[in-house]
Chain A
Amino acid sequence: MEDFILFNDVSFSPISEYGDNKIDILKNINLKIGKGEFISLVGKNGCGKSTLSKHFNAVLVPSKGEVIVGGINTKCEQRVFDIRQKVGLVMQNPDNQIISSVVEEDVAFGLENLGIDRHIMRESIDRALRCVGMYEYRGSPTYALSGGQKQRVAIAGILAMNPECIVLDEPTSMLDPSGKEEVLETIVKLNKQFGRTVVLITHDMYELSLSDRVIIMDRGSIASEMTPEELFQSECLFNDYGLLPPSSIKLLCNLEKQGYKIKSKFPDTKLCTKEILSLLEEVKCQH
């Protein structure tokens, strides 16, 4: 897989009001993200996930090391708009990132900033709104939308700029279950159907299971990298990084402790049910 984003020994310390920078929020981050990959970034609060997310599209630039996005160094000020067109950032609270009061005008904001022609803009907006399933709401006021719909509009605003990568900083944390589902469906669709690279920052273990690779952060550094399957195999791994395993994994781990042989652990309800049913079948046969 071709590398799209490269973090080479990146450290970040914000400059204090006295001009010195003492606290390292990010420490020696080395990371490679391939085109079309789905990465999830997890870790405790304050471990530097959001700071790292702002490095993907040059909102922040590293104090040490370099970030290369699609072959462009984020420190190159002349090409900052090229980088921001390649990588879009969606944040936690949709109300804080929606600029206009009408859906299609908000989606148009990024394109208007880039001085794109009206006719090309129209096509991009319609395509982005169709992609997130919000085309029917294009003329609606944003204040009348639900949380999930607002977040999908925020994603459409980024998609209209046709980025190759989308970074989502806890996009479902302020949503109700149905809103969460709508947004997750959209994210998976963007990755699987449209081949966009996705970096998802999350605390939710189910969301994490949707990705190809999990990056665990701890105190500003990358503590570990693995596939979701590897992470869910051991309860110890969760404890090591201060994460809470989902109840389905807890149940399977408890069964394992009781002496039952569990072949694979995964938070997906269908797979978990299948595992328990096969276990019950085995017990039945033994009796």
Chain B
Amino acid sequence: MMGNMYLGQYIPGNSLLHKLDPRIKLLSSIIFMIISFISGNLFSLFILVLSVMLIVIFSGTSFKVYFQSTKYILFFILLSCIFNAFYGYGEAIFKFWIFTVTFDSIKNSVVIILRIASLLFVSSSVMFTTSPNDMSFAIETFMKPLSIFKINVQDIATMITISLKFVPIIFEETNKIIDAQRSRGADLDDKNIIKKVKAYIPVIFPLFFLSFKRASDLAVAMESRCYNDIIKRTSIREFKIGILDILCLVYIIVILIGVIYCNYLI
């Protein structure tokens, strides 16, 4: 199972990131999103990459697991960056047919790939080290103001965490359906894209059917275990913001200030 990690899966452990309060982790990841998008020059990007590496180390999860869980997304980011490298203004470094590679286009591609990869790695580190229940609590806390508009915040938080929990199960089910359809002669490897899309229809329909069946079973299981919006839910975990959490916030704010400084003063 560990060799087949998926995005958003929780890995129990005892690392520094595991010990942090889920609210702090969620808040820090939101700040980190801002940092990623404002990092414009090479100095700020250097700070960004360095801080991401530190976060990955503190998560107690190997780089291999990170790459395994994000390999498909990373592939698409890489592909889009390669295309991006051919569209740029300024002095041409390399020219081939209608494609022109400039210093600006290469710089843009590097900036985009580093920004998105950093975002992906930070969000993965939060998901790897936060159990769905803790995440549900954190989401609920941040969405609490919405309850003024009579929005059921608890339901939304539970929905998000349950969907994340079901990602690996749905992937596993998809693979089983693909194998079943292949054994019945379905050609899913056709090079013609239209034929390939058509061939995947017998995979998608059973997957939808099974997902609805699963959702219905889960609803019965949750009802049987008294899931409701009348009684105020308690939690088995005690959440207290400690010195470690404050240090983490300070760390993120220092990075934010550092990136802003590099962007505007260097």
Residues of chain A having any CB pair with chain B under 8 Å? 54, 57, 59, 81, 84-85, 88-89, 91, 93, 95-97, 99-102, 104-105, 108-118, 121-122, 125, 139-141, 143-144, 154, 157-158, 161
B226 touches A81 (CB 8 A): yes
Segment of B90-98, B177-185, B230-238 in the binding face: B230-238
17 contacts between A and B (CB under 8 A): A88-B224, A88-B225, A89-B221, A99-B162, A99-B225, A101-B165, A105-B236, A105-B237, A109-B225, A112-B233, A113-B226, A115-B231, A115-B232, A118-B235, A122-B236, A141-B12, A161-B225
Per the 8 Å Cβ criterion, residues 198-241 of B in contact with A are: 214, 217-218, 220-228, 231-238
B226 touches A110 (CB 8 A): yes
Per the 8 Å Cβ criterion, residues 125-176 of B in contact with A are: 131-133, 162, 165, 168-169
Q: How far is the CB of A80 from chain B (nearest CB, A)?
A: 8
User: Once the chains are docked, how many angstroms separate the CA of A158 from the CA of B226?
Assistant: 10
User: Once the chains are docked, how many angstroms separate the CA of A190 from the CA of B11?
Assistant: 32
B132 touches A100 (CB 8 A): yes
B130: nearest residue on chain A (CB-CB)? A101
Q: Which residues of A contact B12 (CB under 8 A)?
A: 102, 139-141
Per the 8 Å Cβ criterion, residues 1-48 of B in contact with A are: 1-2, 9-12
Tally of chain B residues near chain A (CB < 8 A): 33
- Chain A CB within 10 A, most for which of B169, B220, B231: B220
B236 touches A113 (CB 8 A): no
User: Once the chains are docked, how many angstroms separate the CA of A157 from the CA of B238?
Assistant: 20
B133: nearest residue on chain A (CB-CB)? A105
Closest 3 A/B residue pairs (Cβ) = A97-B221, A110-B225, A96-B217
User: Once the chains are docked, how many angstroms separate the CA of A267 from the CA of B228?
Assistant: 44
B135: nearest residue on chain A (CB-CB)? A101
**Cross-chain contact of A95 among B169, B226, B228, B237 (Cβ < 8 A):** B169
Q: How far is the CB of B169 from chain A (nearest CB, A)?
A: 6
Q: Which residues of B contact A102 (CB under 8 A)?
A: 10, 12, 131, 133
Residues of chain B having any CB pair with chain A under 8 Å? 1-2, 9-12, 131-133, 162, 165, 168-169, 214, 217-218, 220-228, 231-238
Q: Which residues of B contact A91 (CB under 8 A)?
A: 217, 220-221
A107: nearest residue on chain B (CB-CB)? B236
**A143 in contact with B225 given A100-B133, A105-B131 (CB within 8 Å):** no
A113 touches B233 (CB 8 A): yes
B214: nearest residue on chain A (CB-CB)? A96
B165 touches A99 (CB 8 A): yes
B168 touches A143 (CB 8 A): yes
A104 touches B236 (CB 8 A): yes
B225: nearest residue on chain A (CB-CB)? A110
Q: How far is the CB of B6 from chain A (nearest CB, A)?
A: 10
Q: Which residues of B contact A111 (CB under 8 A)?
A: 234, 236
A118 touches B236 (CB 8 A): yes
**A101 in contact with B132 given A113-B227, A141-B10 (CB within 8 Å):** yes
Q: Which residues of A contact B223 (CB under 8 A)?
A: 59, 84
Q: Which residues of A contact B9 (CB under 8 A)?
A: 101, 143
B6: nearest residue on chain A (CB-CB)? A143
Q: Which residues of B contact A89 (CB under 8 A)?
A: 220-221, 224
Q: Which residues of B contact A54 (CB under 8 A)?
A: 220
Q: How far is the CB of B71 from chain A (nearest CB, A)?
A: 19
**A59 in contact with B233 given A101-B165, A139-B12, A157-B225 (CB within 8 Å):** no
Q: Which residues of A contact B162 (CB under 8 A)?
A: 99
Contacts A99-B222, A109-B227 known; 4 new A-B pairs at CB < 8 A: A59-B224, A91-B217, A118-B235, A122-B236
